[in-house]
Amino acid sequence: MEGNILDAARFIGAGLAMIGAAGAGVGIGLSVQGALGGMARNPDAYGNLLTNMILGIAFSEAIAIYCMVIAFLMLFKVV
Amino acid sequence: METEKRRPWRRWVVLVLMIMGFVVGEYYFVPVQPGITFSAEKLIEQPLVTLPVIGPFYLVNTIPPLIFTVLLVIVIAFYTNRSMLKSARSDLVPRGIGNLMEAFFELIYNMTEGATGMKLAPVIFPWFATIMFYALFANLLKLLPGFEAIGILRPVAGGHPIQPLGIFANLLPGQAPNGYTLVPFLRGVSIDLNFTVALALISVFMTQVVGVQTQGFGYFSKFINVRTMFKVPFFGAMDFLVGLLEIVSELSKIISFAFRLFGNMFAGLVLVAIISSLLGKISILPSMIMLFELFVGVIQAFIFGILTMIFMAQATQGHGHEEEHEEVHEI
């Protein structure tokens, strides 16, 4: 066993930061579920629902991206 | 009459290029995982100019693509203007790039009108369209070949060995005691926090300006809310605290705007770098990731614009519901 304990803490911290991506996954799943339910009930609204669904997905995805930015901040020793 | 069957020869070109990519990646130029840096790197160590108050100004590798982006937008604007003028002089039928831009801007103008109403759309639309168009080109330009791939070799501890090819050199995978790392000439504009923070600051500041334009200085009563303080002391104090929270939410808008765009583009950079160094021999897969990056770039530019538009539309609507409450009380 050798190495720097700060490096170890950095990797563990990056891994812990990515836990937040689970929330984004749930959010994306819920928005797709809602949009698909809407499309199944009302196929005419397909295009409108798809656009808004992608917008909503991009918002949820941004949360995971924030987590990833924090993880990379730790990995690349920026702070 | 017998119609001649179309011979799709272009797909064979693509196949040949794929096989060539495979051979080159397998035997000649083995892909190297680039050194991923969080911020833009300096191309020249000395600062270009040193401004008196602000400090030194370096030539970083996001400056050249920024100049390309601005030039591209100016050129498109010039040709669109010329095309529209030509059609206005002749028969009022837009053709070519004028037609394309008219369709595009009509689409997003109708979207703005739907969200803000007929009267405010001319005020809000320029900000929406400018930010979206600029961010769109900034995001898409980084997909061109040559970005992140060609640059200066710098000696660094734990770098890669190099293979000299005349005055050029090629990085090899692995580690060497006196190795090199690549500082690319071109780096995507939006993979630089300076760019995204600047856009976010413009967006949030102009939201306040649009709010003041439409509501006068009553706009700021959203933040320091003392209107109901003396009539209903308890709920008035609550409203005051909510107003302070509004200030925090304006500030957090800057952070979320900046990190949304930066994070998405940076994730794309890391994804392409890692996928192509892991699976570089199967050269079709990184190009699939590039295709996904195209999608992400368009979506993120659109979201940046549309969020600006929505926040501006919110800023133009005052605290309507409270006045309604008061009216009900008085009646």
Check residue B281 and give its pLDDT: 59
Shortest alpha-carbon distance between residue A75 and chain B (Å): 10
Q: Long-range contacts for B24-30 (Cβ within 8 Å, ≥24 apart)?
A: B25/B280, B25/B281, B25/B283, B26/B281, B29/B170, B30/B172, B30/B173, B30/B280
* Structure-block tokens of residue B157: 């501890």
pLDDT more than 90, % of chain A: 38
Check residue A79 and give its pLDDT: 59
User: Residue B68 and residue B25: Cα distance in Å, rounded?
Assistant: 30
Amino acid at B213: Q
How many Cβ contacts (< 8 angstroms) between chains A and B?
A: 37
- Pick out chain B residues at pLDDT < 50: 321-331
pLDDT more than 90, % of chain B: 21
Check residue A41 and give its pLDDT: 94
Structural domains of chain A, ranges and CATH numbers in brackets: 18-72 (1.20.20.10)
Check residue B329 and give its pLDDT: 45
Maximum distance among all alpha carbons in chain B? 89
Kindly state the average pLDDT of the residues A27-54: 90
- Interface residue ranges in chain B relative to chain A, Cβ cutoff 8 Å: 36-39, 256, 259-260, 262-264, 266-267, 270, 299-300, 303, 306
| A68 part of contact set with chain B, CB < 8 Å | yes
Looking at chain A, which runs of residues are DSSP E strands?
Answer: none
Check residue B324 and give its pLDDT: 44
pLDDT band at A1 (very low <50, low <70, confident <90, very high): low
Q: Which residues are bridge partners to B181 per DSSP?
A: B154
Helix (H, G, I), strand (E, B) or coil at B6: coil
User: Residue B76 and residue B267: Cα distance in Å, rounded?
Assistant: 29
Angle of helix B284-316 relative to helix B193-215, nearest 10 degrees?
20
Residues 6+ positions from A35 with CB-CB distance below 8 Å: A49, A50, A52, A53, A56
Residue A43 has pLDDT above 80, yes or no: yes
Residues 6+ positions from B22 with CB-CB distance below 8 Å: B281, B282, B283
B153 touches B120 (CB < 8 A): no
Q: Between β-strands B168-171 and B55-57, what pairing exists: parallel, antiparallel or unpaired?
A: unpaired
Tens of pLDDT along B77-92? 999 999 888 888 888 7
B293 touches B48 (CB < 8 A): no
Check residue B149 and give its pLDDT: 78
Between chains, do B299 and A72 touch, taking CB under 8 Å as contact?
no
Check residue B134 and give its pLDDT: 93
Nearest to A65 among B36, B264, B306 (CB): B264
Check residue B98 and give its pLDDT: 86
- Comparing A8-17, A52-61, B274-283, the range with the smallest average pLDDT is B274-283
User: Residue B79 and residue B324: Cα distance in Å, rounded?
Assistant: 51
* Alpha-carbon B11 to chain mean position: 32
B189 DSSP assignment: T
Helix (H, G, I), strand (E, B) or coil at B211: helix
Tell me which H or E stretch contains B327: helix B320-330
How many angstroms separate the Cα of B16 from the Cα of each of B9, B11, B12? 11, 9, 6
- Residue B215 backbone dihedrals phi, psi, to 5 degrees: -110, 0
| A59 part of contact set with chain B, CB < 8 Å | yes
Q: Within a 13 Å sphere around the CA of B127, how many CA atoms are in the beta-carbon half?
A: 25
Tell me which H or E stretch contains B34: none
* Structure-block tokens of residue B309: 């538009």
Tell me which H or E stretch contains A57: helix A46-75
* Best of B303, B308, B311 to mutate (most A CBs within 10 Å, chain A): B303
Closest CA to B320 of B227, B231, B234: B227
- Residue B155 backbone dihedrals phi, psi, to 5 degrees: -70, 140
Check residue B209 and give its pLDDT: 92
